[in-house]
Structure 1
Amino acid sequence: MPKHLIHLFCFLISYAALAQMQAFKFQDVRITDGPFKNAQDIDLKYILDMEPDRLLAPYLIDAGLPIKDERYGNWESIGLDGHIAGHYLSALAMLYASTDNQELKTRLDYMLSELERCQNKNGNGYVGGIPQGKIFWERIHKGDIDGSGFGLNNTWVPLYNIHKLFAGLIDTYHYTDNEKAKTIVIKLGDWFMDLIEPLSDEQIQNILKTEHGGINESFADLYIITKDEKYLDTAKKLTHKNFLNPLLQKEDKLTGMHANTQIPKVIGYEKVASLTNDEELSEAVKYFWNNVTHTRSVAFGGNSVGEHFNPVDDFSGMVKSNEGPETCNSYNMLRLSKALFFNNNDVSYLDFYERTLYNHILSSQHPEKGGFVYFTPIRPNHYRVYSQPETSMWCCVGSGLENHTKYGELIYSHSNSDVFVNLFIPSTLNWKEKGIELTQNTQFPYENQSEIVLKLKKKQTFALNIRQPKWAEDFEVLINGKVQKIQTNPSSYINIKRKWKSGDNITIKFKTATHLENLPDGSNWVAFVDGPIVLAAKTSTEDLDGLFADDSRMGHATHGKYIPLDQAYALVGNKDTYLSKIKDIGKGRFSLDSLELQPFFEVHDARYQMYFQTYSQEEYKEKQALLKQQEINAAALEAKTVDKVNCGEQQPEVGHLYKGEKSNSGFSDDKFWRSTRGYMSYQLSNKNLQGKFLDIIVLDELKLDNVDISINEKPAKIISTKDKTIRINVSDMEVIDVKITSVDGKPTPRFYELRILKE
């Protein structure tokens, strides 16, 4: 073929055959239109509504410096003091890099100057907002350690807390090249290494029993920044062996575990594996990712119920709960998916990333009023709660601040010379080093096509690789209006290599199909999914109690009534007829009898139904009658309950001021529990003296020989002990401090639940 003719090669390539993929800088990509741009703008307003001096107050208090404004309330004043500031640094840095908004830079510089001032005042490299931090860390340094899951020496997840600051400083340096952030985080890292230097491996593993975020990843990042091996050695030292070892053996031990305690650890493992070429560790990470995404995630990408991994063969607890998948989990699963995508040359990781981005992350912020979602229930006819800048300081507010700043991170990627289009999101790319600019115009998911226009400084030859998603049908590529001959294959790239000129127009067209997805347990609950978009129906605006959260400890969870499950819309008929019930009415919407299905990320300020039960005509009446009776029984128990604690679960325990020594928690026979060889205590509330009895339920043979129980520092008035339940009279007590103490250090039974009852 003559050299002066254009050589056009359109063929399919697998990601594994590509040169090493790299991310573009945030500065190179701009979101231009659509729901993602709106979400970014709404997040910007929320970020600017927050007050840096209030976020910094815990750090000034701990450093012994005068505060400039009162610290925030909520979680920022009851033990997790200072954790939001680390997320705030990350959000400021990423959104500044993504928008060049100068107010964000001003705030970022101010946050860093104040943290530097606190660090200098402390004098040893430490900076933190943990309550009575100096006393706490000195105990750890001396080897005085008692880890019990969510508490370390009765302090609420302090390593998780300080990891947020590590991550915020590292992100600031990574995304903005800020040298002050680098200096602060290196000093902080050196302080932490000095802190744990005297500790044995056993003592460090005891610390790692508690939730510690991605502290191992932070030290891997410090190694990347400094190239000093001591930081990589520390990252390895901070490996939680009891959690990792089953993954290395490809054993699923995740059920019952607190989900977001585990995912950040794995992100750290993935980074260490890539830095050390540890293939065994890398395979363990992939095993975890596959397990969570394929057997533990629902249609919109989220996982867990009440923050814990539920059994893979039973999602009924999630269907019934108001505490569905936690947004932090998806935040971290996307971070893990992104890392695996870049480090393994495997485009299939983008299928999960895209699904979760559109359906969980995008839906987790109110598109008009702002505010972040903690739990996304899949319970039919339930709803979500949104944070407010002045009242809500949950972990999902911290990750939420970040989620909507970085939508440009994976729209495009590149090898040494070629461009890859990964997502169909309106945006621009400016690859300055290569003189390549492109604009992507699309209304997806409301329109099944995308147009890319090139702007080049000169004609040049490179490959434009366009991802064909797993869900895309009849995939078609046109260049300057001419259809190209391509070989298509889902979850791969269409590779178009030619000499491009400025103004070249590439149009991508495809079709989507609507399908049903069962819950991973194979039960009869299904969701409608169109392409990658999960559909749901608004069902009512009745009793949206606490829709915008107050400052209560559990303000992130819904308080409105449960609509019985037997009243939810169900699909009745043969399997072949379920899909035929919906009719496409345009703009991503479908009619389903009296309901209208729409993209879930559009559903706000309402109760909704995402999952539908399927029945044959023959089984409908019988199964509905059984479901109705189950709902009646559950509602009757809740109606006579004044307060309760589920032992061994983070939110109920922290919300009831759990304290303990030599205490362990676990998950057995589908139940959480806690036991002790020291003591464990909770504070319950008997509002308006409605409750008459406190029932304490155990999972083992009920013997009180090894247990002392006190109520408000007095011996408990035990009425009865039968059916593994201890009943105590609390009729005249409004605040009930329950303390369970081991006798002579003997192990207590496993305690399952404490419940105050009206009768």
Structure 2
Amino acid sequence: MWASTHNDTLRAKMSSVVDVLYDCQKKMGTGYLSAFPSEFFDRAEALTTVWAPYYTIHKIMQGLLDQYTVAGNSKALEMVVEMANYFSDRVKNVIQKYSIERHWASLNEETGGMNDVLYQLYTITDDLKHLTLAHLFDKPCFLGLLAVQADSISGFHSNTHIPVVVGAQMRYEVTGDVIYKVSRNLFRWTKEIAYADYYERALINGVLSIQRGTDPGVMIYMLPQAPGRSKAVSYHGWGTKYDSFWCCYGTGIESFSKLGDSIYFEEKGETPALSIIQYIPSTFNWKTAGVTVTQELEPLSSLDMNLQVSLSFSGKNGQSATLNVRIPTWTSASGAKATLNGKDLGSVTPGSLLSVTKQWNSNDHLSLQFPIALRTEAIKDDRPEYASLLAILFGPFVLAGLSSGDWDAKTGSAVSDWITAVPSSHNSQLMTFTQESSGKTFVLSSSNSSLTMQERPAVDGTDTAVHATFRVHPQDAARLHGTHGAALEDTSVQIEPFDMPGTVITNDLTLSAQKSAGSFFNIVPGLDGKPNSVSLELGTKPGCFLVSGADYSAGTKIQVSCKSSVQSIGGILEQAASFAQAAPLRQYHPISFVAKGVKRNFLLEPLYSLRDEFYTVYFNLAA
């Protein structure tokens, strides 16, 4: 993060952390440095139960090495060398006392990227002891399978072995030893667009999905993808800002500090080259070409299905240089377009780099347009019982359907036959109905096919917020543009639960996809006579209203009461039948679609945008 911002406060904090850890290491006097005792490694070497200690050691060593290579802190280099020497002696002792096989067996738990950090350290120290130790963390029983391209790695724990692969990449770069040329490094080596596409997809759907919206430091351990799951009730659920120290917190924080590290790739030479492989608003000082590149994007929505990218240049006396821009594989050649200073650059090919060589200056402007289409992808599992499962994507965005468990979809011959965009005007038809009781605010809620009153959620992004938001659309199309219902008094409307598009509440308090007379309500001035208060009168039974009861608790069911059959005592009926019209607790995401289902329709939104809501990533076509 400091490397991206050069923030003085960050530098002071990280230097302070290094100083304190330095004192701890010196106090122990062996080179060892960790918050847990070295006895954990005795247990690991004896193949007895212990949490993965090398995973944490890797994080500490990598952090210290970065403090040296990025921030120039020589004290940090001294510390990581001491740690490497300590573990070199430990591993050597295990091999001498037992065997090399015992050491390999001890690596069958998470060891992080020990090989990776040790290869990096070797490039600085040239100490063969560090190179040898790096080799000893390469885990040949796994890398060997990859080297011969054997399809025999099913069942291997990914978080244990992906860091080993990253380390193998570093081995290749440091020694030229091709164990296995394994998204970022592979693109840098090969310029294959598939790797850049994979990186984009992992960043949007994997990295951005693990943090709770914009809440800093609130992340999850695992990203659930089964039907009717929520990030909030996943394994461990959401962590906390200051008290969660799972391994994935280290990885998560690292990932969010590197959001911008793979946008631009620079090549120096007689004709400098710059490859732009990720489309993220940013600025790059292209020193070798003598210009600054500014990248801007137009807001993306499901209604304007084009990614619009603008690249502008500033600077004088720039030199001749080559600019390469990625043409994503998810776009279409028929609509993709690139213009330089208003001049069409001709046809562009998805899955390739578009190259322009010129002397760049402040008058240059490169515009890119990439059509984005909806598509489906089968689950990556060849077992017969999963053959009917597919995911829905909008370009690189994985779309999740709001659902408490239903995942049965009804497809058509074309994607457009069963998936449509949510019109932007629908946001103006959203509202939440509230009541005050005993000093609390309650919201009308539709969940599990019943209407209840629930306490207003204290935070955004909850399932309660979803269930308490309704699309209220009038029978008279001329009145479609009210502001959250402000202009809907004395109007006949249908009330559609936010997460059940195409389904409306009926006068008998059920849900139906049939738009019959029994699905209309009259919004009338509130029976309690208060400003901004409305009552919901049944369209088929004038004088009958939705009522909650008075002084209720969360979970109170909505009922129907009629003026003619219920005597008002102290205004209780009037109070129970009156709701305040509030701004909706939920809005449609700019990228929102409706997918047809067997029993109900699904509201689709990008997976990364969801917080506590329940959803399904995969849809079942077998129903």
TM-score by length of 1: 0.54
Q: 2:11 aligns with which of 98, 105, 117?
A: 105
Number of corresponding residues: 430
Quote the residue 1:90 is aligned against.
none
Distance in 2 between the 1:234 and 1:457 partners?
Answer: 50
Q: 1:582 aligns with which of 404, 419, 432?
A: 419
Distance in 1 between the 2:299 and 2:139 partners?
Answer: 42
Quote the residue 1:515 is aligned against.
375
1:376 to 2:223 alignment? yes
Quote the residue 2:256 is aligned against.
404
Q: CA deviation at 1:495?
A: 0.4
Equivalent residue of 2:117, what SS? helix
Quote the residue 1:118 is aligned against.
24
Distance in 1 between the 2:310 and 2:339 partners?
Answer: 9
Q: 1:392 aligns with which of 237, 244, 251?
A: 244
Q: CA deviation at 1:579?
A: 4.3
Higher relative contact order (CA 8 A, sep 6+): 1
Quote the residue 1:479 is aligned against.
340
Q: CA deviation at 1:377?
A: 1.5
Quote the residue 2:409 is aligned against.
571
Higher helix share: 1
What is the correspondence of 1:242-641 to structure 2 with a 5 Å cutoff? 242-279=141-178, 281-282=179-180, 285-286=181-182, 337-370=183-216, 371-385=218-232, 386-416=238-268, 417-443=272-298, 445-446=300-301, 448-473=307-332, 474-486=335-347, 488-521=348-381, 523-539=387-403, 565=405, 568-572=406-410, 576-577=413-414, 579-585=416-422, 587-593=590-596, 594-615=601-622, 620=623
Supply the AA of the counterpart residue of 2:20.
Answer: E
Task: Note if contact 1:475-1:510 (Cα within 8 Å) is conserved in structure 2.
Answer: yes
Equivalent residue of 2:120, what SS? helix
Supply the AA of the counterpart residue of 2:214.
Answer: E
Equivalent residue of 2:603, what SS? strand
Q: CA deviation at 1:215?
A: 0.9
Distance in 2 between the 1:357 and 1:444 partners?
Answer: 18
Distance in 2 between the 1:210 and 1:570 partners?
Answer: 38
Quote the residue 1:633 is aligned against.
none
Distance in 1 between the 2:140 and 2:208 partners?
Answer: 35
Instruction: Tell me which structure has the larger Cα radius of gyration.
Output: 2
Equivalent residue of 1:608, what SS? strand
Q: 2:46 aligns with which of 146, 159, 164?
A: 146
Distance in 2 between the 1:569 and 1:211 partners?
Answer: 34
Task: Note if contact 1:589-1:596 (Cα within 8 Å) is conserved in structure 2.
Answer: yes
Supply the AA of the counterpart residue of 2:250.
Answer: G
Distance in 1 between the 2:149 and 2:602 partners?
Answer: 43
| Deviation digits for residues 224-270 of structure 1 (CA, Å, limit 9, x no counterpart) | 22233332222112222322332233223322222211111111112
Query: Which has the larger displacement, 470-479 or 408-417?
Result: 470-479
Distance 1:460 1:390, change over 3 A: closer
1:176 to 2:74 alignment? no
Distance 1:571 1:425, change over 3 A: same
Q: CA deviation at 1:452?
A: 0.7
Q: 2:134 aligns with which of 227, 235, 260?
A: 235
Quote the residue 1:188 is aligned against.
83
Equivalent residue of 2:257, what SS? coil
Distance in 1 between the 2:370 and 2:350 partners?
Answer: 12
Task: Note if contact 2:291-2:361 (Cα within 8 Å) is conserved in structure 1.
Answer: no
Distance in 2 between the 1:202 and 1:394 partners?
Answer: 29
Task: Note if contact 1:213-1:264 (Cα within 8 Å) is conserved in structure 2.
Answer: yes
Q: CA deviation at 1:275?
A: 2.1
Distance in 2 between the 1:433 and 1:462 partners?
Answer: 8
Equivalent residue of 1:176, what SS? coil
> Where in structure 1 are there 5+ consecutive unaligned residues?
1-94, 148-152, 287-336, 540-562, 621-759
Task: Note if contact 1:146-1:206 (Cα within 8 Å) is conserved in structure 2.
Answer: no
Distance in 2 between the 1:145 and 1:125 partners?
Answer: 19
Supply the AA of the counterpart residue of 2:8.
Answer: Q
TM-score by length of 2: 0.66
Distance in 2 between the 1:432 and 1:613 partners?
Answer: 52
Distance in 1 between the 2:225 and 2:407 partners?
Answer: 13
Q: 2:59 aligns with which of 164, 174, 183?
A: 164
Q: CA deviation at 1:191?
A: 1.8
| Deviation digits for residues 475-497 of structure 1 (CA, Å, limit 9, x no counterpart) | 211112222224x2222210001
Supply the AA of the counterpart residue of 1:102.
Answer: D
Quote the residue 2:478 is aligned against.
none
Task: Note if contact 1:572-1:578 (Cα within 8 Å) is conserved in structure 2.
Answer: no
Equivalent residue of 1:160, what SS? helix
Distance 1:418 1:162, change over 3 A: same
Q: CA deviation at 1:196?
A: 2.2
Equivalent residue of 2:201, what SS? helix
Distance in 2 between the 1:506 and 1:227 partners?
Answer: 45
Distance in 2 between the 1:199 and 1:503 partners?
Answer: 65
Q: Percent identity?
A: 30
Distance 1:530 1:230, change over 3 A: same
Q: CA deviation at 1:217?
A: 1.2
Task: Note if contact 2:410-2:418 (Cα within 8 Å) is conserved in structure 1.
Answer: no
> Where in structure 2 are there 5+ consecutive unaligned residues?
233-237, 425-589
Distance 1:360 1:444, change over 3 A: farther
Distance in 2 between the 1:531 and 1:419 partners?
Answer: 24
Distance in 2 between the 1:145 and 1:124 partners?
Answer: 18
Task: Give the CA RMSD over aligned residues.
Answer: 2.1
Task: Note if contact 1:450-1:508 (Cα within 8 Å) is conserved in structure 2.
Answer: yes
Equivalent residue of 1:425, what SS? coil
| Deviation digits for residues 331-357 of structure 1 (CA, Å, limit 9, x no counterpart) | xxxxxx112222334332111111111
| Deviation digits for residues 513-545 of structure 1 (CA, Å, limit 9, x no counterpart) | 111111022511111111111112333xxxxxx
Q: CA deviation at 1:433?
A: 4.7
Task: Note if contact 2:289-2:318 (Cα within 8 Å) is conserved in structure 1.
Answer: no
Equivalent residue of 1:217, what SS? helix
Distance in 1 between the 2:127 and 2:191 partners?
Answer: 27
| Deviation digits for residues 366-425 of structure 1 (CA, Å, limit 9, x no counterpart) | 123331122221112210032112342211111111111111111111111111111111
Distance in 2 between the 1:504 and 1:493 partners?
Answer: 19
Supply the AA of the counterpart residue of 2:399.
Answer: L
Quote the residue 1:653 is aligned against.
none
Task: Note if contact 1:458-1:502 (Cα within 8 Å) is conserved in structure 2.
Answer: no
Supply the AA of the counterpart residue of 1:378.
Answer: Q
Supply the AA of the counterpart residue of 1:469.
Answer: P
